Amino acid sequence: MRHVVVFVALLIAGGCGPTGLVSDNPRQWTPLTVSFEGPETSEDAAPNPFLDYRLSVTFRHEESGDAFTVPGYFAADGDAAESSAKAGKVWRARFTPPAAGAWRYEASFRQGERVALSDDPQAGEPGPLIDRASGKLTVAPPAADAPGFYAKGALAWDGERYLRFADGDRFLKGGADSPENFLGYYEFDDTFDSGKHEKVDTDKADFIHHYEPHAGDWKEGDPTWQGGKGKNIVGALNYLASKGMNSVYFLTYNVDGGDGKDTWVWTGPDERERFDVSKLAQWEIVFSHMDRLGLMLHVVLHETENDEKLGGDGGLNDVRKLYFRELVARFGHHPALIWNMGEENDMLDDDRLDNAEYLRSIDAYRHPITVHTHNRRAFATYDCLLDKPPYEATSIQGRMERANAETIEMIRRATAAGRQWAVFHDEQTPASTGVKPDADDPDHDLPRQGELWGNLMGGGSGVEWYFGYKYDHMDLNAEDWRSRERMWDQTRYALEFFRTHLPFWEMAADNALSSAADAYVFAKPGEVYAAYLPSGGASELTLEPGSYSVGWYDPRHGGALQVGTVETVDGPGTVSLGAPPSEAGRDWAALVRKK
């Protein structure tokens, strides 16, 4: 399913105003595109089309009166992903309608020196051809067979501990944190390893991603560009989605000292005020495929090496404002997207807040915002942000064995600050190890026991997996996601347990209910209890009054609940759950439900 395109024909003669022509039936929760014929220009022209023009389009739902203003962008010839065009007269805005029914839209197109940076709606002067163009749309409900996130709507924070889609489903994350330079892919226009350009070697000199092992995962009918480019990166995403994962973490800017030195949004690695139209259009093809697959975009805006270099500092300077605006204009319409202020972020607290507030102010969908931490610095990073509205989720780097305690404490601190946060763990330390390939660690006991089940049983919202630099297919050069296939499987098993068996949004961690010192307990007292036993064995659990069934879930292999040595228990008080059905010395999850 491709984006709906609405072309605005500007009828100037005879005093007629601009009208809209809908080429297909717009759907709720599916992005549509409004294209305008505007001034002809190019990426390197003066006036600068990215800085000296400003397109915004307001969409208003007639029944509710709800209005959404989205930034627009210069689209060259309108087909730049295929043509690699750098010049043209097509200008665009993308919008994802949150409701069915009648909609109106109206464009604001301003021109003037650096007008794109102004928050004043009347800044500059009215621009030619597009200003005040308007039209009507009739948006149908979602299609019964809408793919991926187009069937679920926008992912947002609504004050609860778990992010929710517009259809009401809560989000538990399992995905890839590596390679962080996912977009450093050889078939995107003007994409290369700039390490040689900067006279700095990366881990492998002149490395760029090809994802050749995933060529066979591309399927007939999947998107490509320019006669078949993109099959490998699309195939990689197909594979990850086929394993039940739902998120990919990636940088959009890793030059200026970053590790990969192969990802930037501008026309070159040294340019900061002109954007690469065709490259970003090709990114959009990939991101739209992610929507259809049900893979969230975890958009990481800076790297630790450059977060205080963009525009000369870490604050809300002009270069950073323009960067944010272009990203929101081109990609803000994607239903499931988290903005991450930066990997191992070093910005001052005030800068983190100012930057997030500006990003939120131009993002009509209010996508969740987070910031990634250094190792063992989660609380130091988040404590001063917990009561600040732009931030709503964590992106924690830390030791795997600490994930459960860290999650519980993070939730406690957020609650004390008066706001619930979604708690994600997104990088595992030590950095040299992370999650090893299956060939080196086929069981993945520590990631599974410490990080995955630790986060979820603490009330967290899930994890993304980082690949350590001492192993094959590491964070910068990973070419084959199958290198961690067993880790994806084990992640899916955990997510399936929570989604199938637990009202997890109504539950809370209470490890003291178990007699096992290393157990994680997640409970809705008197109704349902989950007890994860990293070391297996027999365990006792303290219950509220009632009669309960006992089932066992295998975190290593998934599947249906199994029967152990005890099938029913009665509360109140401390009761024995018996032993799991097999391999009693391995980890198991006991599910105790009121009859």
CATH code for the domain of 39:
2.60.40.10
Assigned domain for 163 exists:
no
CA distances from 111 to 14, 19, 122 (A): 25, 22, 10
Assigned domain for 554 exists:
yes
Last residue of a domain, one of 459, 485, 502: 502
Q: What is the 3-state secondary structure (H, E, C) of 70-105?
A: EECEECCCCCHHHHCCCEEEEEEEEECCCCCEEEEE
286 lies in the same domain as 362? yes
Cis peptide before 126 (omega within 30 of 0): no
Assigned domain for 480 exists:
yes
When divided into structural domains, the chain yields a total of 3
Assigned domain for 247 exists:
yes
Q: What local confidence, expressed as pLDDT, does residue 206 receive?
A: 78
Assigned domain for 423 exists:
yes
What does the alpha-carbon distance between residue 219 and residue 241 come to, in Å, rounded to a whole number?
A: 13
Last residue of a domain, one of 502, 534, 556: 502
The predicted model scores a pTM of 0.96
358 lies in the same domain as 474? yes
What does the alpha-carbon distance between residue 531 and residue 510 come to, in Å, rounded to a whole number?
A: 10
290 lies in the same domain as 195? yes
524 lies in the same domain as 498? no
454 lies in the same domain as 520? no
- List the one residue out of 375, 490, 483 whose CA is nearest residue 436: 483
What does the alpha-carbon distance between residue 423 and residue 455 come to, in Å, rounded to a whole number?
A: 8
467 lies in the same domain as 514? no
Strands 4-9 vs 32-42: parallel, antiparallel or unpaired: parallel
- List the one residue out of 131, 154, 133, 151 whose CA is nearest residue 142: 151
Last residue of a domain, one of 480, 502, 524: 502
Residue 310 maps to which CATH number? 3.20.20.80
Assigned domain for 319 exists:
yes
Residues with pLDDT less than 50, the chain = 1-3, 9-16, 19-23, 197-203
What does the alpha-carbon distance between residue 189 and residue 191 come to, in Å, rounded to a whole number?
A: 6
CB 54 within 8 A of CB 165: no
Assigned domain for 113 exists:
yes
What does the alpha-carbon distance between residue 556 and residue 452 come to, in Å, rounded to a whole number?
A: 12
> Residue 410's domain spans which residues?
174-502
- List the one residue out of 461, 346, 494 whose CA is nearest residue 395: 461
CA distances from 31 to 122, 295, 312, 330, 336 (A): 28, 16, 35, 11, 12
Query: What percent helix, strand, coil does the chain show, rounded to 5?
Result: 25, 25, 50
436 lies in the same domain as 417? yes
517 lies in the same domain as 549? yes
Assigned domain for 354 exists:
yes
Q: DSSP assignment, residue 268?
A: S
92 lies in the same domain as 195? no
127 lies in the same domain as 210? no
Half-sphere exposure of 490 (CA within 13 A, CB side): 25
What does the alpha-carbon distance between residue 588 and residue 586 come to, in Å, rounded to a whole number?
A: 7
Beta bridge partners of 465: 176
31 lies in the same domain as 85? yes
CB 276 within 8 A of CB 255: no
Half-sphere exposure of 59 (CA within 13 A, CB side): 25
CB 77 within 8 A of CB 88: yes
What does the alpha-carbon distance between residue 2 and residue 590 come to, in Å, rounded to a whole number?
A: 44
557 lies in the same domain as 470? no
